[in-house]
């Protein structure tokens, strides 16, 4: 489900270097393997092992440079937020997929727009305006660094043709140096991603990028499994299994009726608060969503529910994403945000609604939405005709089409988190961060209020429409920027919401009115994965690998889904092969029946989520977990 690495020009140019390896001659590397080989080469130039973490902005910047990127400070800040504590190798690979190396042709095209004399040069004053006011804005210091390059600047002019050549050459040299360093180390040479292991186990192969439990990345799994008709994978043919454990569960049709969610009798008398949010499917398969902070003033019985938000206005035709599973993990904040205690999650169900009822003491709680990823995944159907977004009347005036206005109205409904029919600055900034990566500051918001319809200093639905119309006019009717916004919000070219799932959270308390606020948007890393692991360890069945008491597979069976977690108590990393081929009427969050995961020492990780393909039929979960020698 990840984007193709073949589009990564700087990485694909390194094929010749890799093909010299004796093992790659025997088993030619795929584009995906080349991508990860380059990722690891860059990572291991900065770190001794790919199990080490990036723990600072400086380390991230250095690793990206060795990968042939030249990130701006804004790019670094996008991935290293105030909440970031560390990034792992898998996160690093995700960043490289998103931050494609700029080609020479793209650079030349951008600079040529300011070359009024068509002589290959740009005045420093024009260059400053271009780089600090448009696109991904650079800082004054970053622009000065470019202007001070002696080889490409003279007489107040910037020679962009020389600069583009220097830029691309420098990036290629960085990447070539990292690969050469990896080739020199014969131990790492034997550890090529996806190759056969032929030799004693004590070679201790270098870590393969760990498939993140929050990411449905088919390409990671393809490295371990053969997608052809044969059952044998590279992993199975090249390595032996030390030991295995298996789990079998037979689940009845409509088994969710066993965990029926019921409302408390006196619910109508309780105080209620509501908030909306959305799961967004990223290009690499990662799912991110809003995270919330909730305050309970006094000890109360609390009833919490989460369900997909139905936006359809047509009776009898519900929104297609209503089948996406949702859950909400509730964690109590103790002293600091970093110290969160898992309280519960919404495991009871009534149709598409998942909920929990229980007593909560006074304090601050974090609400973290979750979906397994089994039913929210990348769209594969082709779109034959692109929807029209704007049109001009006979006078030449620009208008939004009826279909686009309807879509914008739905988007407004999703980003209006408190449901009051207006957009506050905080709500609008979630939208801006999602679609452009930037926030709207107070000054820009004041300008927005002056030019578009507002109420109580908040943007109305019509004002939101007019804002998008202004953007279309600014581009003289060119819809490309509008499509960027739509794709970011999960819409395809037919204006269908296919890669997002809006949801709504309701919280009732019998003694006080709860308060809830969306704080940020995050994926399944960090606190959510910890919460899932802890809940499975607390509630699931555990099986120890025979002869390896420090390696434990935990499986939690819910009426609606099954989640497995692998716990590695040993001092060494382990690789576990997972085989779901004998399961019936099942889908899993990783998208393949056979795959493998690497578990770091002294850690736990979510292995997979499994759900029925058809809830109206019986489904059988049969999974074998094998330790690879």
pLDDT by residue (tens digit) across 426-450? 999 999 999 988 888 888 888 888 8
pLDDT of 24: 38
C-alpha 607/C-alpha 214 separation (Å) is 10
Q: What are the b/e assignments for 192-230, b being 16+ CB within 10 Å?
A: bbbbebeeeeeeebbbbbbbbbbbbbbbbbbbbbeeeee
Question: CA distances (Å), 19 to each of 26, 87, 390, in order?
Answer: 10, 30, 50
Model's pTM, two decimal places?
0.65
Q: 64: buried, middle or exposed (CB in 10 Å: 19+, 13-18, 0-12)?
A: buried
Euclidean distance between CA atoms 405 and 387, whole angstroms:
12
pLDDT band at 62, cuts 50/70/90?
confident
Give the residue, 378 or 135, on which the prediction is more confident. 378
How far is it, in rounded angstroms, from Cα 267 to Cα 270?
5
**Mean pLDDT over residues 86-94, rounded?**
88
DSSP 31-48: HHHHHHHHHHHHHHHH-S
CA-to-CA distance for 201 and 508, rounded, in angstroms? 56
- What average pLDDT does the segment 116-133 reach? 77
Report DSSP state, residue 371. Answer: -
Q: Where in the chain is the domain with CATH 1.10.238.10?
A: 104-173, 380-498
Query: Which residues is 398 bridged to in the sheet?
Result: 392
- Of 423, 427, 426, nearest to 458 by C-alpha is 423
Instruction: Give the best-scoring range by mean pLDDT among 18-22, 187-191, 250-254, 261-265.
Output: 261-265
Most trustworthy range by pLDDT among 168-182, 310-324, 545-559: 545-559
Backbone angles phi, psi at 451, to 5 degrees: -105, -15
Q: Could you say which of 2.60.40, 3.30.70, 3.40.50, 2.40.128 is the CATH number of the domain covering 244-255+538-628?
A: 2.60.40
pLDDT at 15: 42
| CATH for the stretch 380-498 | 1.10.238.10
Q: Which stretch, 67-71, 88-92, 180-184, has highest mean pLDDT?
A: 88-92
Length of the chain, in residues:
629
More reliable by pLDDT, 18 or 520: 520
At residue 179 the predicted structure's pLDDT band, cuts being 50, 70 and 90, is low
Higher model confidence: residue 160 or residue 348?
348
User: In terms of DSSP H, where are the helices of 20-159?
Assistant: 22-26, 31-46, 57-66, 73-79, 89-98, 104-112, 124-133, 140-147
Q: Is the pLDDT assigned to residue 218 strictly greater than 60?
A: no
| Domain 104-173 CATH class label | mainly alpha
Q: Where in the sequence of the chain do the CATH 2.60.40 domains occur? A: 244-255+538-628
Quote the Cα angle for 303-305-309, to 5°.
Answer: 150
For residue 180, the model assigns a pLDDT of: 66
Pairwise CA distance, residues 595 & 412, whole Å: 40
Sign of CA dihedral 484, 485, 486, 488: positive
Cβ neighbours, 10 Å, residue 119? 10
Top-confidence residue, 372 or 383: 372
Range 31-98: architecture per CATH: Orthogonal Bundle (1.10)
d(CA 420, CA 456): 11
pLDDT at 297 over 70: yes
């Amino acid at each position: 489900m990840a984007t193709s690495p073949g589009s990564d020009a700087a990485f694909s140019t390194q094929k010749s270097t890799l093909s010299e390896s004796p093992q790659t001659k025997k088993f030619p590397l795929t584009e995906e393997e080349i991508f990860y080989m380059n990722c690891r080469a860059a990572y291991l130039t900065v770190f001794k092992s790919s199990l080490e973490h990036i723990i600072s902005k400086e380390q991230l910047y250095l690793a990206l440079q060795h990968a042939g990127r030249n990130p701006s400070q804004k790019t670094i800040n996008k991935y290293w937020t105030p909440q970031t504590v560390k990034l792992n190798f898998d996160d690093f690979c995700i960043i490289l997929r998103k931050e494609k190396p700029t080609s020479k042709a793209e650079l030349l095209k951008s600079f040529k727009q300011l070359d009024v004399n068509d002589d290959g040069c740009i005045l420093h004053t024009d260059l400053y305006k271009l780089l600090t006011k448009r696109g991904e804005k650079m800082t004054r210091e970053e622009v000065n660094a470019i202007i001070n390059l002696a080889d490409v600047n003279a007489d107040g002019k910037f020679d962009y043709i020389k600069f583009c050549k220097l830029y691309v050459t420098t990036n290629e040299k960085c990447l070539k140096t990292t690969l050469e360093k990896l080739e020199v180390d014969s131990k790492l040479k034997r550890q090529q991603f996806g190759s056969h292991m032929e030799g004693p186990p004590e070679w201790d192969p270098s870590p393969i990028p760990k498939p993140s439990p929050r990411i449905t990345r088919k390409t990671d799994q393809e490295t371990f499994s053969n997608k052809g008709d044969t059952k044998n994978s590279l992993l199975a043919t090249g390595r032996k299994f030390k030991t295995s454990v298996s789990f079998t569960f037979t689940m009845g049709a409509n088994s969710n009726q066993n965990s029926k969610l019921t409302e408390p009798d006196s619910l109508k008398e309780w105080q209620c608060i509501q908030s909306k949010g959305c799961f967004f499917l990223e290009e690499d398969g990662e799912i991110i969503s809003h995270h919330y902070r909730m305050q309970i003033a006094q000890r109360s019985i609390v009833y919490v529910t989460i369900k997909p938000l139905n936006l359809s206005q047509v009776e009898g035709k519900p929104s297609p994403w209503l089948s996406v599973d949702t859950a909400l993990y509730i964690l109590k904040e103790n002293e600091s945000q970093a110290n969160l205690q898992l309280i519960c999650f919404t495991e009871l169900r009534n149709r598409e609604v998942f909920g929990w009822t229980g007593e909560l003491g006074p304090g601050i709680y974090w609400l973290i939405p979750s979906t397994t990823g089994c039913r929210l995944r990348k769209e594969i159907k082709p779109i034959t005709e692109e929807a029209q977004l704007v049109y001009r009347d006979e006078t030449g005036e620009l208008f939004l089409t009826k279909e686009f206005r309807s879509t914008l109205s739905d988007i407004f409904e999703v980003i209006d988190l408190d449901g009051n029919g207006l957009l506050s600055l905080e709500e609008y900034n979630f939208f801006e961060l999602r679609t452009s990566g930037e926030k709207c500051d107070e000054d820009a918001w004041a300008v927005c209020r002056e030019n578009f319809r507002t109420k109580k200093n908040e943007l109305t639905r019509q004002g939101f429409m007019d804002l998008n119309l202004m953007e279309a006019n600014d581009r003289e009717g060119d819809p490309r920027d509008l499509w960027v916004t739509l794709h970011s919000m999960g819409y395809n070219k037919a204006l269908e919401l296919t890669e997002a799932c809006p949801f709504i959270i309701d919280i009732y308390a019998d003694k006080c009115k709860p308060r809830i606020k969306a704080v940020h948007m995050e994926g399944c890393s960090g606190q959510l994965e910890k919460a899932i692991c802890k809940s499975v360890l607390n509630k699931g069945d555990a099986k120890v690998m025979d002869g390896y008491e420090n390696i434990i597979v935990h499986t939690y069976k819910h009426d609606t889904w099954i989640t497995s977690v692998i716990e590695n108590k040993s001092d060494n990393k382990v690789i576990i092969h997972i085989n779901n081929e004998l399961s019936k009427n099942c889908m899993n969050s990783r998208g393949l029946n056979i795959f493998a995961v690497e578990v770091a020492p002294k850690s736990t990780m979510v292995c997979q989520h499994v759900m029925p393909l058809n809830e109206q039929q019986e489904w059988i979960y049969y999974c074998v977990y094998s330790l690879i020698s």
